Amino acid sequence: MLHLFTKRDTNDKIRAFLGAMTKHHRYRSWEHCYRYFQQADGTPRKIVAADPDHAALVLGFYLASWGMYRGSSFLLQFDYTIHLGVVTALAAQHFEPLWQAEFGSGQNDETLVPAIFDAIDAIKDVYRPFALAVESNEPSDTLVTKVLLGTFGCLPACDTYFISGFKDSGFKYSYLNSNFIRRALSICRENLPVLRAEQAWIKSAGGIHYPLMKLVDMHFWQTGYDLEVARTTPAPSAA
What are the boundaries of each domain within the chain?
15-230
Segments of the chain assigned E as strands: none
Between CA 37 and CA 44, with CA 42 as vertex, the angle to 5 degrees is 45
First to last CA, the chain: 43
Mean pLDDT over all residues of the chain?
Answer: 90
pLDDT for 49-106, tens place per residue? 888 999 999 999 999 999 999 888 999 999 999 999 999 999 999 999 999 889 999 8
Q: What's the pTM value of the predicted model, to 2 decimals?
A: 0.91
Collapse the DSSP code of 29 into the 3-class scheme (helix H, G, I; strand E, B; otherwise coil) and give the result: helix
Q: Can you tell me the distance from the alpha carbon of 177 to that of 207, in angstroms, rounded to the nearest whole number?
A: 33
**Long-range Cβ contact pairs of 224-227 (< 8 A, separation 24 or more):** 224/160, 224/161, 224/162, 224/163, 224/164, 224/165, 224/166, 224/168, 225/161, 225/165, 226/13, 226/16, 226/165, 227/164, 227/165, 227/168
Which residues in the chain show pLDDT less than 70? 1-4, 40-43, 235-239
